[in-house]
Chains A and B, each alone.
Chain A
Amino acid sequence: MEVERVRSQSKIAMVNSTSEEIFDDHYVGLEQEESELDFYSPFIPSREKKTHYVKVHFEKVQPKEYKARQIGWWLGRVEEVYEDYFTASLEDLHGRISVAEFSNEEITPSELNLLAPNVRFSYTVTQMDRRSGREYVSKISLSGPAVWTKKDSEKAKESYEKLFPEELFEF
């Protein structure tokens, strides 16, 4: 909302201006008393109708060109990989299980090297409302191999000792 307000003010200033090139989203034309000029109250109406151009320090925010809403989400596991497709089992948020075949084309080329049996992935269907209309986008994100760190080793050691004391293997 704030962005819209500032932009609309900017448009008014542009109408009143004589040198249009200085006007862009960063400049706002104000008609107000000079002494009251304040960055924190830049839109107070002025009695003297004197126009000043001040630079307003706010980030240049592009309005979102679309609204996205995820309407489907599954956690999948690759079962078998063939030349140009793979089979997978999927589980949705309600615990419903599905089986399906996916074309390899559904995977981003940069992730193709991760495609292997047993690899987990997420599958999403997103609804995107653009100015040009509604679109649906499906996406597969493969998880890479779990990279192990020194911290993980410490955590694992601690968990192992807690969860699996020696006595559990000895009886």
Chain B
Amino acid sequence: MESNLYRHELTPPKIDEVEFTFFGPGIGESIVVHIPGIGWGIIDSCDFGHATERLIPPLEYLIYQQVESLAFLVLTHPHADHFKGIEQIIERYLGKIERVCRYAGEGLRELAAYMVRRGVKGSPGAVSLSSVLKSLKRAVDNGAESRRLGAMTQIIPRQYVTLSGRNIEVEVLSLSPLAEDEEAYVDILRKAFQDQNRQIIGIPDTDHNLIASAIWISAGQMVALLGSDVERGKNRSRGWRGIVGSIDGPDLAVKTIKVPHHGSSNAYYKEAWEEHSRNGKVTSVVTPYIRGKQPRPSKEDIERIGYYSIHVGLTTHVSYLRAVDVYDRAVAKRLPENLRVIQPSKECGMITVRYDLQGNAILHKAVRPAYWI
């Protein structure tokens, strides 16, 4: 399998340019970030391809841009669609990663125990979670600083960097998980194993989003918000409702946003979007998710996001086939009439946006199958 990234020449950003490159091949997402005066960082990781041959697009991009070291590596939450390929990235940059940030609260132990129990009953996941944690530890053992993500964790502490004789303020924060979400997550995981009934109960994927970290990045006048899978929140102390309501939180008016949770309605909080677009419409990037009851984003999701956005970019294109187009006619006739086979793109695209330190957009580029709406 060959990457299509090399076919679209993209010069490296200048030292005073902020760059975000978004990957989202349909399952999983990753964002490669360049921050002036700080260097390169990566938030989450994803892979792409078939079972026998898989590519790690963000790693390819880092190599393509001849990135020698990483200022930070962030895992917003320990779920497969955010950590596939992270071991290879760590291995490639071993000893050259300045800091590693991940969620490490009580929910992680409970998640590990839950995954192991599910593993005993044949569900996969525990081994890859273990492998990722071992890999992160390996990065720390090889010189990376370890940071635990939570509300208002400083990934890059506020600092001034001097560029061309000017002092620029730079800061990277995680805005979540909030304490109440974390408690709720631990509770859900503990209840998933009921010793009295001797049963393990499957928990919905959305519950795992309770420990996701939204990442806020500020460099000069450029502010971006990478929403991970943070959802709306069940009360004013949780999710986006809690983040927006926090008195300690930073200004949430941004230039660019990685739309949380693939643009789903679960992650939509009107007040948050009004905050984000307070200084003008934003550039929104959505990483589609092709599994689930309905692949995301839906038309309604895009319309909702579009209301606050000057551009909406999707990191991949998803089309659908009828059962009869894929399966033998005799089989297709026995399938539900409304069955749609998801046809993901055969290539992995990417979206790159660049800003100067005054917050002016310099570049908006989508490499197919990624596209702007």
Contact = CB atoms under 8 A, between A and B. Distances in A.
Contacts of A127: 330
A159 B116 contact: yes
A159 B119 contact: yes
B137 A171 contact: yes
B134 A100 contact: no
Interface residues of A, number: 41
A119 B200 CA distance: 12
B146 A171 contact: yes
B157 interface: no
A87 to B, nearest CB: 5
B341 A118 contact: no
A117 B204 contact: yes
A17 interface: no
A100 B129 CA distance: 30
A164 interface: yes
B334 interface: yes
Contacts of B327: 72
Contacts of B203: 118
B75 to A, nearest CB: 13
A118 B204 CA distance: 6
Contact of A125 (B109, B112, B118, B331): B331
Given A89-B291, A147-B199, A168-B137, A98 B104 contact: no
A37 to B, nearest CB: 52
A97 B342 contact: yes
Given A98-B323, A99-B293, A145-B201, A136 B330 contact: yes
A96 B340 CA distance: 10
A159 B201 contact: no
Interface string A133-171: 000101000000111110010011001100110011101
B199 A146 contact: yes
Nearest to B199: A145
A159 B126 contact: yes
B116 A100 contact: no
A102 interface: yes
Given A95-B51, A118-B203, A167 B293 contact: no
A1 interface: no
Contact of B336 (A80, A89, A100, A169): A100
Given A118-B202, A147-B198, A148-B200, A164 B133 contact: yes
A146 B342 CA distance: 30
Contacts of A33: none
A101 interface: yes
Contacts of A98: 323, 339-342
A152 B118 CA distance: 10
A98 B323 CA distance: 9
Given A127-B330, A159-B119, 18 more contacts: A96-B326, A97-B341, A99-B292, A99-B295, A101-B336, A117-B204, A118-B204, A125-B334, A147-B199, A148-B195, A155-B120, A156-B117, A168-B133, A168-B137, A169-B108, A171-B136, A171-B137, A171-B140
